[in-house]
Structures are given as structure tokens and as C-alpha cells.
A and B are shown apart, each in its own frame.
Chain A
Amino acid sequence: MLLRHTPEKIVERSALTINPAKTCQPVGAMYAALGVHKCLPHSHGSQGCCSYHRSALTRHYKEPVMATTSSFTEGASVFGGQANILEAINNVFNLYDPDIIAVHTTCLSEVIGDDLTQILNKAEGDGQIPRGKKVIHASTPSFKGSHITGFSNMTTSFVDHFAVNSGKKIKQINILPSFIEPSDMSEIKHIVEELEVKYVMLPDTSDVVNGPMDGKFRMYPKGGTTLESIKTMGDSITSFALGRTGAMAAAKLLDTKCKVPCDILDLPISLKATDVFVDAVRTAAGVPVPESLMLERGQYLDVMIDMNQYTAGKTVSLVGDPDMLVGMAAFCVENDMKVLHVISGTAPGPKFERRIKEICGEDVIVKSGAQADMFYFHQLIKNEKPDLVLGNTYCKYICRDEDIPLIRMGFPIYDRIGHSYFPVVGYRGGLRLLEKVLDVFMDRQDRDAKEEKFELVM
């Protein structure tokens, strides 16, 4: 029993997080910056932060993850990190030659009070940034928000620095996804492409952190949103933020800064949420829904109906990030499963809880923010054991101890592959997720059925 230390009785804790269900802002910022073409993330802090974030992303994607660091020393922490960032900019452009350096802060540089806007403006003024190259930054202190906040802040910073309203509208839409897998970003693009609508997606980590093996190590893989297309986002007809917590801020900024109206949708996980997304894009662009998408929808729906008896009434506990959780809950409910618990270390505000209850009903236990950690999640499970857990790799301790099947979703996933290649969004993602859920339930049924009840045809 790995978690033999988890007691069943739930006690209020005042000051303590045990086995966190979140991580800090900079890793989200780093991931978002990887989704911009030829952009190198830069961590303004001690070198440990950068190393940890790269390790975390490398473990999750099994891909090289490149980022640089200001390598703070004791001196920098006393006198400020200005000299470090200037030296870093110089070194990075000389050696690694990115088009953009995306600087994110850390708790250290935030607390000592480095004013990056002023420092970077001065560097620009002094001609330290090569012609045509860009350096942007986002404030991402680890003591506020979570990795989702960091992802959102970095995406917003790209909009802030680059999107412009040229006064001439372009018939295209903006898509701002929350912190999701590259496979999910591809699938969203696929849907919009099937609808034959022109779009800009920011960020876009597909073909960056799920690239092919071609015998070369590349600092800058082929994917990522291009700087040119980010600039045009200010001229789009509308923006869709997919996920309130991770994507809304950037969409709102496009509205206030460039007068591009925005629509805040849930991530298109579940048939219903995908319908909503398809309908929103269709309406905005004035296009019909093609046969090809109807086919994908029909296939998912077909399997939902065929296999309904195997999911009906099953209970599920969910842990993860807010935008994903909304989708996961919707998926469970539309397949007639009952959601018992929804836990997020990220604190997304009261709307999140309302949304989850709208989807799952009033009985569901929802907790987010402080002390909404894996320890609490485990205690809930000890009090009411679900048939299935959906969550990240860290759930495996709980699931092993309690003998509950786990389907890995969210971040991080350190011990399985597939998440970066196969989606959970869209109709095809729904079908894949349902297949995974069914495999789990049916394998258990086969394992546990009495000999006389053991069925060949299921």
C-alpha cells in the first residue's frame, strides 16, 4: 500500500498541500511558448526551474524540450536579474537563433521585483535585440494560480505583443485552446478545416511536441503558430476561447485590444460540446456542416448507443485541470455514467463549480484550489469508491491501492503513451475515449465474472 498513510477520515487542513493536483505557472507558460513557431521559451529565474519544467514536459511528451534560463545566482537575487536577462538575450540570439524569445518569470524574479517591461524596452532601445527578432514576456509567479494560469498568461502575452487591428477585416476565425495535448489541437484544426473555415490557432503545439523521428535533432520543429498569423488575429471576424480558465483571457484581450468579438466555449470534449463548437464555427463563418463531420458524429453516436449498457450507471471520479474537467464530466454524463467527485488544484472561480453542477447534478462533490489535492481526492474515494478514475499519472498510486481502473487524462502523463498522438476532443476523440472506457470496464467484467456468467459476445 503505497498510500497507506492516507486516512479515511477527512480532516480540515489549514496550511498544507499533500500530493498536489496542480503545478506552477512557468511550466504552462513554457508549453504555450513552444506552440509558437521558432519561439524559444526563456525562464527568468534560477536554473533549477527551467530544468524541472523541461524535465516535466520531456517526461510527458517523450520529446526534447528546449528552453533557456537566466541562471540566477545569489548576486542576481540581491541586485536584480537585469544583467542576466540581457546577457541571456545576447547569447540566445547568437547561438540558438530563434525568431522570438518568450520570457516567463518565476517566483524568484517576481519577488525581487525585476521590471521586465522596462528592461526589455531598454534592450530594444539600445539595439540589443537584433533586427526582426522579438522578445516578449509574461508574468508568471509560481505563488499565484497554476500551470493553467501560466499557459493563459503566456498566450495572452503573445496577443498583447503581436496582434494588431489593421482596420481591414479578414474572413478568418481565431481559436484559442486551453492547455490541451497536441493531438487535441490537431483534431480541432481538423474540424475547422472540414468546415472549410480559415483560422488562426494560438498556441498550436501539434508538430512541435509530437514530431516525427527523422534522424535530426531540431531546436525548432516545424509546427507552431507563426508570428505572421498571430499578427492577423486582430483582423479576424471572431475568436473562440475553448476553455474558460486557460483560454478566456487571451480572447478577451483580442476583444478589448483589437475589437474582435469573442465567444467563450467549453473544450469540445463530449458529443454535446463538440456540437456546440461546430455550430458556433458554422454560424460565425456562414458555412454548412459537411458530410464528413456528420459521419464522424454519427459513428461516435452509434457506439454510444451500441454500448450504452456497459457504461450505464457506472460511477467515476475526476481530477485534473478545470477546462478539461468540464469536458470529462460532460463526456461521462452523456454516456450515462455518474460523476462522484471533481477535484482541481487550480482555483478557477465560482463559475466552474456551477458549470460542473449543471452538468453532473447537485450531488457531485466539487473542490478546487487550496487543499484540493490528491490526498483529499483519495480520502473522497475511500469514502465512496468509484468504478473508474479519470486523471493524470499521479492517480496511479490511489488506483493501485484501491483497485480502481485508471484512464490517464490531463497533465502530466509520465507512464503511458498515446495522449500526444490521439485526441479526446471532437467526435473522433469522443469515440477514442469511449473505446478506452469500454475496454477498461469490459476487461474488468471478463476478469471478475463468474465462470457461468463469462460471456463470449459482449
Chain B
Amino acid sequence: MVEILEGRKTQVFEKGKDGFEISCGKASVAGSVSQRACVFCGSRVVLYPIADALHLIHGPIGCASYTWDIRGSMSSGPELHRMSFSTDLRENEVIYGGEKKLRAALVELIDEYRPKAAFVYSTCIVGIIGDDVGAVCASVAAEKGIPVLPVNSEGFKGTKKDGYRAACEAVFKLTGRDNLTPVSKFSINILGDFNLAGETWIIKEYYRRMGIEVVSCITGDGRVDEISRSHRAALNVVQCSGSMTYLAKMMKDTYGIPFKRVSYFGIEDMSAALYDVASFFEDDEINAATGKLVYDEVSTLLPMLAEYRRDLEGRKAAIYVGGSFKAFSLVKALRHLGMATVVVGSQTGSEEDYNYLKEITDEGTIICDDTNPLELSRFILEKGADLLIGGVKERPIAYKMGIAFCDHNHERKEALAGFEGMRNFAREVHDSVMSPVWKYSPARIAARKGEDE
């Protein structure tokens, strides 16, 4: 195994070689080039797709600058979420407090944009200087007559996961407010899909074809009014387990709505998700519609995948993503393309998640929590991966090493969820792995020479 920081040794395992008691969910070791972000980042990415709410970042300018429209969450209507609003705290407020500035900013914004609700994100120094964000929000809410919700997302208060939790707590306050609008008995909420590249729309359409009403999407293409009546849906369907399970649990405890965890990536997981939801309603029509949907979609998809598979068979992949649930689906999806996963890791996986990963991967696969570029590049080299699946910071590492890359994070350009997402995924992986550009990659040239000799 490659050299690993002493404090990280229990966060990296090789299946078949090491004992398996991964430690995870801990803060990054000080001094590592961590690929992780902070609490604020977690809250911000989760809530941001609510398109008719105001998102005000209370802090110095950086936190607003770096999160301005960085995630391709699409909206079918209002696009207020794509603006960047900041109180731009300066030295003066750091000394005397930022409450006055926050209040003024909120009032100006609400008067100008008339949003349906407002989220106020606390950043690191707000937690230190001790602004009473809750009190400001409450008083503005009373004055303006809309929900103004503090998000307790001070960056240092944990990991990105804690940010998801803070986001769930904030969004939960929007639920339970509309008891009048009729809601079907065959109804669900889609939790944990963010409509990247229009993915929520794909999934929503599947449910429509099954005869199921989607009451709200939290938060992809999200709307405040829909969330207000979300508590009356019959079932919560949770994707991206890391970010939204907490909300599902709160809604279960408060409103008695059961929830199911699903994944929309890959053929098995996508089909299983739909069947799972259908079986919940115990309705013949829904069951029949679901069976037909899956049959139709899969029978169109499989021949297409076979074409890609011909070229990709036997290639190896490395995966490093934010949530571990996505990693599960990717391991399975890659198998459909004839590709084995040789390295797999996540920023926020739990022990349970890593145990599951161990079950579904082959002997010799490296499983890691919160890795860094140096480790990752060595794992890739050692295992001879042809492809890396990751996010923005991983892309140039893959390219510099001369291997293919697929963005399965905020910057995906094509929908990767659903059956058509699987086809897009296959095409993207195929196009990157098979690109003629790798003919000129020094690493490949060296490898070819090695084979010839």
C-alpha cells in the first residue's frame, strides 16, 4: 500500500488484505489536502435549488462568491436561487456585530424580490461574533409575513454532513403549513434529488407514468408552496441518503410519513426504486404501470449499453464521490459496462456504507474515506485505473495522469439519473475512455511499450 498519513490509516482499506473496521465521519486530519468542504457548503448545496426562496449568506463575501450558481440545479420557473446575496461583513461588523446589517439586507431583499420564504445562512464568523440570527429572522418574518429561516451552518461546526442536517432542520420548518390543497392518496415527496441537469424532471415523469402524484421535490426544482403541503404525502422517497435521511426521519416522527431509501443511478437501482415505491401503494394499476415502464425503458436501454460495453469491457474505474450511496450505484452501473471498480471512496460515508461497499466490490479493491489527491493518484496508479469518477477537484488530477474522467458531481452536464441517465453515463464514460487523445498520453504510451516487450 502507498504511504498514508498516520492519522488516516484506519480510513483506507484494501478488500481481502486488511481487516475491515473503517473509521469515518471524522474531521479531516489537519494538514491534509482534503477534498472535503464545510458545514456551510453542505447546507448551501442542499437548500439552494429551492428556486422561489431567497438565499442570503450572512458572512464575509467569500462564502457567497464561491457558491454563486455553482451547481447546475435547474428550475422550471423562478430563478431567484441563481442570484448571490451576501451581507458582505466587514471589520466594523466583526467588532460591533452584524445583526443590524443582516436586518437591513433582509428587509431590502424581501421588499425588492417578494420571495415565498428566506433562508439565512450563518458562516464561521457569525458563530464567533455571536449574532442572534434567529431573533433577527423571527422579527423580519413577523414584519414581512413570510417564513425567514436561520440555517445554522457555521463552517467549523462539523463536516458537510452536519450542514445537511442544518439544512433539513431549516426546510422542515416550511412543512406542515398547507392543509387545504388536495393531495392524492397515491402521493410521494422526492427527497434528496437536486435536479442537476434536469434529473428531477426525469424521475418525476416516471412517477407520473406510474400514476403517482409527486407533492414536492426537496429540493430539486423546489417550491416553497409545495414543501408547505409535503407533510400530506403518503410516502417519502429519499435519494442521496447522506443529505436528506434526517428530514425523512423528522417527517416520520412528526407526521407519521414512512420513507424509503432509493438510488436513481444505474439499471438495478433505478428499477428497484420504482418497484419499491409501487409496492408501497399495493395498487394493481400502479403495479402494472410500473412493470410496463421498467420493461419499456430497460428493453430500449440494454441494446444501447451493449454497444458501449463492447469497447469498455475489462477497463478499470476509480470512484471518489461525496456521498457513499452514489458510490454503490456507480459500482453496479459500471459492471453493466463491463468495468470493474478498483478504487472507491467517499467524503461522507458511514461505517455501514463502507461495509456494504466491501460486499459489492471485488477482492483487492481499495476502499477509502476522505482521501486526498496524493493518495488518490497513487491508488489510481497502483491499481491501473482507466477512468476516475469524481468532482471538480478530481478532474484535473485524472487528466494530468492521462486517464479518463466523468463528473458525477455538481458539474455534470448531462442527466445521469434514471434510465436515460444511465445511457448518458455510459456514453460519457465511453467517450472519455475511448477518446483518441489518450493515444498521446505518456502513461498510455509507456504502458503500450510495456505490453509490446
Identify the A interface with B (CB < 8 A): 2-5, 7, 13-20, 22-27, 42, 45-56, 58-59, 62-74, 76-77, 84-85, 87-92, 94-96, 106-108, 111-112, 141-144, 146, 213-219, 345, 370, 394, 397
Q: Map CB proximity to A onto B82-98 as digits: 1 under 8 Å, 0 otherwise.
A: 11111111110110000
Known contacts A51-B38, A66-B373; decide if A17 and B88 are in contact (CB<8 Å).
yes
Q: Map CB proximity to A onto B437-453 as digits: 1 under 8 Å, 0 otherwise.
A: 00001111110000000
Residues in A with CB closer than 8 Å to B102 are: 15
Give the residue of B62, B112, B128 whose beta carbon is less than 8 angstroms from that of A49: B62
Residues in A with CB closer than 8 Å to B123 are: 107
Give the residue of B35, B94, B158, B445 whose beta carbon is less than 8 angstroms from that of A143: B94
Q: Nearest Cβ in chain A — how far from B31, in angstroms?
A: 3
Known contacts A74-B157, A215-B446; decide if A5 and B83 are in contact (CB<8 Å).
yes
Known contacts A2-B79, A95-B5; decide if A108 and B61 are in contact (CB<8 Å).
no
Give the residue of B61, B127, B443 whose beta carbon is less than 8 angstroms from that of A77: B127
Q: CB-nearest residue of chain A relative to B376?
A: A217
**In contact, B88 and A7 (Cβ under 8 angstroms):** no
Sampled A-B contacts (24; CB under 8 Å): A2-B79, A5-B112, A16-B109, A17-B64, A19-B83, A46-B39, A47-B37, A52-B37, A62-B395, A64-B373, A71-B34, A73-B27, A91-B7, A91-B29, A107-B94, A108-B124, A108-B155, A111-B94, A111-B124, A143-B125, A216-B443, A217-B377, A219-B373, A394-B68
Q: CB-nearest residue of chain B relative to A13?
A: B108
**In contact, A20 and B84 (Cβ under 8 angstroms):** yes
Q: Nearest Cβ in chain B — how far from A415, in angstroms?
A: 11
CA distance A375 to B109 in the complex (A): 13
CA distance A47 to B396 in the complex (A): 20
Q: Nearest Cβ in chain A — how far from B86, in angstroms?
A: 5
Residues in A with CB closer than 8 Å to B60 are: 24, 107, 141-143
Q: Nearest Cβ in chain A — how far from B395, in angstroms?
A: 8
**In contact, B125 and A15 (Cβ under 8 angstroms):** no
CA distance A144 to B63 in the complex (A): 14
CA distance A52 to B89 in the complex (A): 18
Known contacts A5-B80, A17-B88, A90-B31; decide if A56 and B66 are in contact (CB<8 Å).
yes
**In contact, A55 and B392 (Cβ under 8 angstroms):** yes
CA distance A211 to B59 in the complex (A): 35
CA distance A58 to B394 in the complex (A): 9
Q: Nearest Cβ in chain A — how far from B49, in angstroms?
A: 15
Identify the B interface with A (CB < 8 A): 3, 5-7, 27-41, 59-68, 70, 79-80, 82-91, 93-94, 100-102, 104-105, 108-109, 112-113, 123-125, 127-129, 155-158, 373-374, 377, 392-393, 395-397, 399-402, 441-446
Known contacts A2-B79, A23-B66; decide if A55 and B30 are in contact (CB<8 Å).
no
Give the residue of A4, A14, A17, A48 whose beta carbon is less than 8 angstroms from that of B155: A48
Give the residue of A45, A53, A66, A214 whose beta carbon is less than 8 angstroms from that of B33: A66
CA distance A68 to B33 in the complex (A): 4
Residues in A with CB closer than 8 Å to B37 are: 47-48, 51-52
Give the residue of B100, B108, B373 whose beta carbon is less than 8 angstroms from that of A217: B373
Give the residue of A46, A91, A345 whose beta carbon is less than 8 angstroms from that of B32: A91
**In contact, A46 and B156 (Cβ under 8 angstroms):** yes
CA distance A142 to B128 in the complex (A): 14
**In contact, A16 and B400 (Cβ under 8 angstroms):** no
Known contacts A68-B31, A71-B29, A142-B61; decide if A217 and B85 are in contact (CB<8 Å).
no
CA distance A370 to B88 in the complex (A): 8
**In contact, B33 and A96 (Cβ under 8 angstroms):** yes
CA distance A68 to B156 in the complex (A): 16
CA distance A214 to B89 in the complex (A): 44
**In contact, B125 and A107 (Cβ under 8 angstroms):** yes
**In contact, A74 and B158 (Cβ under 8 angstroms):** yes
Q: Nearest Cβ in chain A — how far from B64, in angstroms?
A: 6
**In contact, B400 and A216 (Cβ under 8 angstroms):** yes
**In contact, A71 and B30 (Cβ under 8 angstroms):** yes
Please name the 3 residue pairs, one residue from A and one from B, whose CB atoms are nearest each other, closest first. Answer: A48-B38, A24-B62, A215-B442
Residues in A with CB closer than 8 Å to B68 are: 19-20, 394
Residues in A with CB closer than 8 Å to B85 are: 16-18
**In contact, B156 and A76 (Cβ under 8 angstroms):** yes
**In contact, B397 and A217 (Cβ under 8 angstroms):** yes
Residues in B with CB closer than 8 Å to A46 are: 38-39, 124, 155-156
Residues in A with CB closer than 8 Å to B82 are: 2, 397
**In contact, B441 and A213 (Cβ under 8 angstroms):** yes
Residues in B with CB closer than 8 Å to A87 are: 29-31
**In contact, A107 and B373 (Cβ under 8 angstroms):** no
Q: Nearest Cβ in chain B — how far from A299, in angstroms?
A: 32
CA distance A142 to B88 in the complex (A): 9
**In contact, A215 and B402 (Cβ under 8 angstroms):** yes
CA distance A319 to B189 in the complex (A): 43
CA distance A87 to B80 in the complex (A): 43
Residues in A with CB closer than 8 Å to B66 are: 23, 52-53, 55-56
Residues in A with CB closer than 8 Å to B401 are: 215-217
Q: CB-nearest residue of chain A relative to B128?
A: A111
Residues in B with CB closer than 8 Å to A14 are: 104, 108
**In contact, A68 and B87 (Cβ under 8 angstroms):** no
**In contact, A48 and B29 (Cβ under 8 angstroms):** no
Residues in A with CB closer than 8 Å to B444 are: 215
CA distance A146 to B60 in the complex (A): 10
CA distance A77 to B148 in the complex (A): 27
**In contact, A49 and B38 (Cβ under 8 angstroms):** yes
CA distance A23 to B57 in the complex (A): 14
Residues in A with CB closer than 8 Å to B79 are: 2, 4-5
**In contact, B33 and A215 (Cβ under 8 angstroms):** no
CA distance A449 to B349 in the complex (A): 58
Residues in A with CB closer than 8 Å to B446 are: 215
Q: CB-nearest residue of chain A relative to B411?
A: A59
Residues in B with CB closer than 8 Å to A23 are: 61-62, 65-66
**In contact, A72 and B156 (Cβ under 8 angstroms):** yes
CA distance A108 to B63 in the complex (A): 12
Residues in B with CB closer than 8 Å to A84 are: 30
**In contact, A15 and B377 (Cβ under 8 angstroms):** no
Q: CB-nearest residue of chain B relative to A217?
A: B377
**In contact, B62 and A52 (Cβ under 8 angstroms):** yes
Residues in B with CB closer than 8 Å to A68 are: 31-33
Q: Nearest Cβ in chain A — how far from B401, in angstroms?
A: 5
**In contact, B374 and A96 (Cβ under 8 angstroms):** yes
Q: Nearest Cβ in chain A — how far from B101, in angstroms?
A: 4
Q: Nearest Cβ in chain B — how far from A343, in angstroms?
A: 15
Q: Which of A63, A146, A213, A397 has the most CB of B within 10 A?
A: A213
Q: Nearest Cβ in chain A — how far from B133, in angstroms?
A: 15
Known contacts A46-B155, A48-B37, A51-B38; decide if A108 and B396 are in contact (CB<8 Å).
no
Residues in B with CB closer than 8 Å to A217 are: 373, 377, 397, 400-401
Residues in A with CB closer than 8 Å to B113 are: 5
Give the residue of A15, A70, A108, A144 whose beta carbon is less than 8 angstroms from that of B128: A108
**In contact, B128 and A213 (Cβ under 8 angstroms):** no
Q: CB-nearest residue of chain A relative to B3?
A: A95
**In contact, A69 and B30 (Cβ under 8 angstroms):** yes
CA distance A62 to B398 in the complex (A): 11
**In contact, A22 and B65 (Cβ under 8 angstroms):** yes
**In contact, B28 and A63 (Cβ under 8 angstroms):** no
Residues in A with CB closer than 8 Å to B104 are: 14-16
CA distance A50 to B393 in the complex (A): 12
CA distance A187 to B87 in the complex (A): 39
**In contact, B27 and A20 (Cβ under 8 angstroms):** no
Q: Nearest Cβ in chain B — how far from A112, in angstroms?
A: 6
Q: Which of B7, B83, B442 has the most CB of A within 10 A?
A: B83
**In contact, B29 and A49 (Cβ under 8 angstroms):** no
Known contacts A2-B79, A20-B88; decide if A51 and B41 are in contact (CB<8 Å).
yes
Please give 11 more A-B residue pairs, beta carbons under 8 A apart, in addition to A24-B61, A108-B155: A16-B87, A17-B87, A27-B62, A51-B36, A55-B392, A66-B33, A71-B30, A111-B124, A143-B91, A216-B443, A394-B68
